[in-house]
Structure 1
């Protein structure tokens, strides 16, 4: 893995310290999510300037009557559906451990197939909670605090007609979890047991993002558990959340190959965007939570 010298910038995005998901519909138009908002933010890539410029935010349908927070943790684009998908954490609040309905959301956001631009009309919202509760491997961790290995979604991508969700937690004895399901089932099917992939990663680690390549996936790992809070003073986290590794997963099986460790910059690696993929390498943009504008870093992953 090679860190590229080019400096990328995300400009004009609201809640820019909390950017948590990104995807592109056509290589130019993007959609960005924040884990502290109830809206999504379109943007446009200027590759010559290494810049992603924001456009006007678009509100998502929410239930809360007070301040809403969908806690968007992953964004993906489906070329089959010509739609983005934005998923909430489906976990409890990290500080208070409280249940917030809007966090248990997944939204379908259609785009104009000719321009790749988001269409405000036709946004749909549902929840993965009924599916999670019907999956024996995951049900015991639903509605548990993240500090105690409680279920939490943090990554999302689309590949070959399916959505793949990377779970920060649970990690059961050195097995991280990715769940797979077709979008049409989520928005039109009857809840059932989800397809679960268990992947060998160290105890205490979880998937913080997942992005699809033409073949296989890049996985981002960090701490599975959150830091302690006043309401939840005991955590399973072994130490500070400062190391973030990239792995390659072929899309099946329990093994993933380590690519490398991202440079430490004081932020938390949160979102991945494939900028370019060739026969020899993939260039990937990494966006960091807790840093102004996500302070993106571009890395080259060689075949």
Structure 2
């Protein structure tokens, strides 16, 4: 898989989504969070076969994106750089990729390129030109108790907001927040796909849906994956860099207090679980794929989980 530097493997895999298999093979889209492009791959007989890259942004802010570029009060102002993709989803013949929508972790910079949402048509095996939207920031800025954390530093003290999970169910787009983590709760923010990509420069008009749920102390969302019935698998892990376990939860957004833990992931040295995809659901059992940041080519593993 393609890393940030030429001929270097990806070591920052942060999201994956796969379309339903055709002929036994899965066509997937992956994101390496330090790139301007996403990358297609084929999952076949237990192997991930890299495919072409798909540029998401160029070297300057897009003139045709829906909505308008937000003004974010990060500690420092930065340039338009990498997309900083943190979540990937597939629904209704489209892939979606979302940027982190947070200040850069090390330098605390506002980089506009990481405050975009992309939608890519994926019909007939070909990918279309990405549609881009600035409107996710409108949702976050109106999302109740998490809104004050937009533009804050990504550290234990400030608990600044950033996105690491994405799922689309019907017209509902779900954003999973790595932070803030508040009183043992993590958060999803939901909005309308149609509203986010409506042509024009107007801000998002719809009210966001905020879903808090028990995730454990200092844990936040690391990825999301939808099930056929609309429930979500939630990969959770440290909200910043705390020593807390990674786990997969089952969440019904209509009853978030009843969230259930399906299993914890084994500890892997210097590996951060950040990518989750459902491969199959059979007789109450799930097959899922988990990928890792800080490991060459994502270090993907397959797990089987019992579904209540």
Give the corresponding residue for 2:297: 293
- State how far apart, in whole Å, the 1-side matches of 2:232 and 2:304 are: 14
Match of 1:136 among 141, 144, 150: 144
1:95 aligned onto 2:103: no
Cα shift at 1:247? 0.9
TM-score (norm 2): 0.83
Size of the alignment, in residue pairs? Answer: 271
For residue 166 of structure 2, what is the aligned residue in structure 1?
A: 156
2:32 touches 2:38 (CA, 8 Å); kept in 1? yes
Preserved CA contact (<8 Å) 1:62 1:70: no
* Residue number in structure 2 paired with 1:14: 3
Q: What is the SS of the residue equivalent to 1:139?
A: helix
Q: Which runs of 5+ in 1 are unaligned?
A: 1-11, 228-238
1:227-281 deviation line (CA, Å, top 9, x unaligned): 4xxxxxxxxxxx34x6211111123223211111101112000001111111221
Partner of 1:118 in structure 2?
127
- Secondary structure of the residue aligned to 1:86 is strand
Q: Residue 69 of structure 2 corresponds to which residue in structure 1?
A: none
Q: Which secondary structure state, in structure 2, belongs to the residue aligned with residue 22 of structure 1? A: strand
Q: Give me the whole-angstrom Cα distance separating, in 2, the residues matched to 1:302 and 1:134.
A: 37
**d(CA) in 1 for partners of 2:204 and 2:293?**
35
The match for 2:264 among 261, 277, 285 is: 261
**Mapping of 1:205-244 within 5 angstroms?**
205-215=219-229, 216-225=231-240, 227=241, 239-240=242-243, 243-244=245-246
Report if the CA contact (8 A) 2:289-2:300 is conserved: yes
The answer to whether the 8 A contact 1:63-1:101 is kept is no
Determine if contact 1:151/1:167 at 8 Å carries over to the other structure. yes
| Cα distance in 2 for residues equivalent to 1:136 and 1:299 | 35
Q: Which moved more, 1:159-168 or 1:147-156?
A: 159-168
* TM-superposed deviation, 1:64: 3.9
**1:63-97 deviation per Cα after TM superposition (whole angstroms, max 9, x unaligned):** 64867211100000111xx2111000100000011
User: 2:180 maps to what in 1?
Assistant: 170
Q: CA RMSD in A?
A: 1.8
In the alignment, is the contact (CA less than 8 A) between 1:61 and 1:124 conserved in 2?
no
Contact 1:283–1:301, Cα closer than 8 Å, also in 2: yes
Structure 1 CA distance for aligned equivalents of residues 290 and 153 of structure 2: 27
SS of 1:57's partner is strand
Measured after TM superposition, the shift of residue 58 of structure 1 is: 1.4
**1:202 aligned to which of 198, 216, 225:** 216
